[in-house]
Structure 1
Amino acid sequence: MSLRDTGRRLRLRRTGRVPADARVRHYDELNDDEQGIVRELAGEPWTAPETGDLDDGDVVKFTDYYLVRSR
């Protein structure tokens, strides 16, 4: 999937707790664009354009668990 032009921005926040209703995505399941965004945003206070398949409230398992926030 590619980046979608919604005007929304993603931010990743390290989390020690995974909500029971969260969709958990593993880094190696993501496409190349999404992997690049996760690498760029993990642990950094930056944002990136919303991607095609990462949604607000999802959790990505990368080097830690990261909660996806989209605004």
Structure 2
Amino acid sequence: MCNTDKRIRIRRVGLIPDDTRVRHFDELDEDAQVAVRELAGRPQTGQALGDLDDGDVVKFTDYYQIRAR
């Protein structure tokens, strides 16, 4: 896991632009999978991880976009 002061939030999205990087949940490393499971559908933030970049979309139970700050 990459230690950083950045935080991420994950929000469900419907439309995905063609140029968006879409990652499948099983392609993520273990730390990123834990973060997606914990944050998907919840109004909270978590520590940013090196495997997830701002704007990425993860296919989990639905499509979720990563927002990093």
Unpaired runs of at least 5, structure 1? none
Q: CA shift at 1:35, angstroms?
A: 0.4
Q: CA shift at 1:52, angstroms?
A: 1.2
Look up the SS of the partner of 2:41 in the other structure.
coil
Aligned residue in 2 for 1:5? 3
Alignment counterpart, residue 49 of structure 1, candidates 47, 50, 54: 47
Aligned residue in 2 for 1:25? 23
Give the structure-2-normalised TM-score. 0.95
Give the structure-1-normalised TM-score. 0.92
Percent of residue pairs identical: 61
Superposition misfits of 4+ residues, deviation over 6 angstroms:
none
Q: CA shift at 1:6, angstroms?
A: 2.4
In structure 1, C-alpha distance between the alignment counterparts of 2:66 and 2:56, rounded to whole Å:
5
